[in-house]
Amino acid sequence: MPKIKLPEADLIRLRNFLGGLKDENDKKITQDDMAKALNYGDKKTIYRHVFDRNSQEVNSDTVELICKCFNIDLAQGVDLDLWEQLKRNVKAKNLTVKISYPPEFKSLIESRTKRFVGREFVTQAFDEFQKNNDRGYFTVLGEPGTGKSAIAANYVVNNPAICYFHIASQGNNTPEKFLNSIREQLIQHYKLSNVNSANLATLVNLVAEKLSSSESLVIVVDALDEVIQEVGAENILFLPRNLPQNVYFFLTRRHYRTDGERRLFTEVDTPQHELDLRQKMDISQDDIKKCIRLFLNEDEQFSPKLQLWLNRNSYSQDDFIKKVSERVVDNFVYLICLMDALTREQYTNFNLNDLPTTLKDYYDLHWERMGMNRPENIDKKKILYLFKEVKQKKGNIYDEFIVEIFTIDIDILDQVITEWYQYLREEENEDLIYYDFYHQSFFEYLTKRKELNSEQKIFREVNEALNRRWEQNDPDEYQFN
């Protein structure tokens, strides 16, 4: 929780300022009013976070949200330089005690947090859940592209936590691989012994015995919806129905289509809470606008090119932010892909009113703008379809092998990677470059294209070329996970 400790005089000044706020009708803004505006349930939380006279600390997120909700300038109540310095000190302190995350998730975590903004309401909700419950499961629900993985990654970066990120295209989405990774992390951090075959329930109970009364174990697990597990009576990933005291799971997943898909059940003493991002659309819209401003003004990679695009197309920043946020709504994947697209010559002159309102429809638009249906780009299309076919078979394929499969110049492969780099990820291993999908949603989009009558013939050609090459060469050239 982002608590900061102010000097006594500054603390009194801040509390007096917030306690004396009035609305536009000159009516006092009460703690009840604040709790209602922030969706905190009751004023007890506001009191505990801000006005508790037995505490010399305040919750910085709550203070800033109060000012934002009531359109108040925080500088009227506190020295902003001191405020920001104290916040940086807290963050630095948290970073020194955080648990190191596994190296296999390093690139994912860094990419998901590179342009992370906002989402404070998620961390606050989890803090409240921990404060009100001595154990339990906290789940963030969201549609594809709404930033669930980024939220999980940001929590791991800023808090001590064990973590696991399921990535279906990499084949790490089984209960066995999950347990092996979590077990290894717990052994390393908590010095457990003789647990090489222990199940998850045993492991968390052993860790709980080592925790002091002020400590807790948080295990972050991203993308439960990507887990491959036979349907049975067991919980997803065999998560324990009972958790020991001070043990919490921070989970993310897509929404279930039906209640029958539910895969997490607990006993009465292990509570669950679900935070549905669809119910926070207004806050998410504000975060989208923050992210757009970051792209326009702070991002070294995108800012100069986007400013040039704005000038060329006669858009002011405010108008650009308004039009883009209305189309993107709360989909951060859509936003990132769009910002990249606007820096390309295919979008030199583009009317923002033509932007679709769904990520899938945007993929269709981008597919056309990049000329993927033109005859001269047939090899580029085949390369993308090859990535999809290989990943669906849970395999890995490298650059030279791709060129040989289609007998094409490597420059064509380089063009595909350059033009679609926001959608693909390169990984180097023993001087070979392997390819993967950056977002599961684009993999799913290509899967749906396979169902189109006009594309079925090309998919057959891709598979025939792949199988011929596979039969003619050493199996080590084409690896299955």
Which pLDDT belongs to residue 2? 67
What's the CA gap between 359 and 379, in Å, rounded?
Answer: 25
Q: SS3 for the chain, per residue? A: CCEEECCHHHHHHHHHHHHCCECCCCCECCHHHHHHHCCCCCHHHHHHHHHCCCCCEEEHHHHHHHHHHCCCCHHHCCCHHHHHHHHHHHHHHHHHHCCCCCHHHHHHHHHHHCCCCCCHHHHHHHHHHHHHCCCEEEEEECCCCCCHHHHHHHHHHHCCCEEEECCHHHCCCCHHHHHHHHHHHHHHHHCCCCCCCCCHHHHHHHHHHHCCCCCCEEEEEECHHHCCCCCCCCCHHHCCCCCCCCEEEEEEECCCCCHHHCCCCCCCCCCEEEEEHHHHHHHHHHHHHHHHHHHHHCCCCCHHHHHHHHHHCCCCHHHHHHHHHHHHCCCHHHHHHHHHHCCCHHHCCCCHHHCCCCHHHHHHHHHHHCCCCCHHHHHHHHHHHHHHHHHHCCEECEHHHHHHHHCCCHHHHHHHHHHCCCCEEEEEECCEEEEEECCHHHHHHHHHHCCCHHHHHHHHHHHHHHHHHHHHCCHHHCEEC
What's the CA gap between 183 and 227, in Å, rounded?
Answer: 18
Q: Which amino acid is it at 301?
A: Q
Q: With CA atoms as reference, report the closest residue to 111 among 361, 364, 449, 439.
A: 439
What's the CA gap between 329 and 29, in Å, rounded?
Answer: 31
For the chain, list residues with pLDDT below 50. Answer: 1, 95-97, 475, 478-481
Which pLDDT belongs to residue 96? 45
What's the CA gap between 94 and 171, in Å, rounded?
Answer: 32
Which pLDDT belongs to residue 95? 47
Question: What tens digit of pLDDT does each residue of 35-60 get?
Answer: 888 877 678 888 888 998 888 889 88
Question: What tens digit of pLDDT does each residue of 129-178 get?
Answer: 999 999 999 999 988 888 899 999 999 998 889 999 998 767 788 999 99
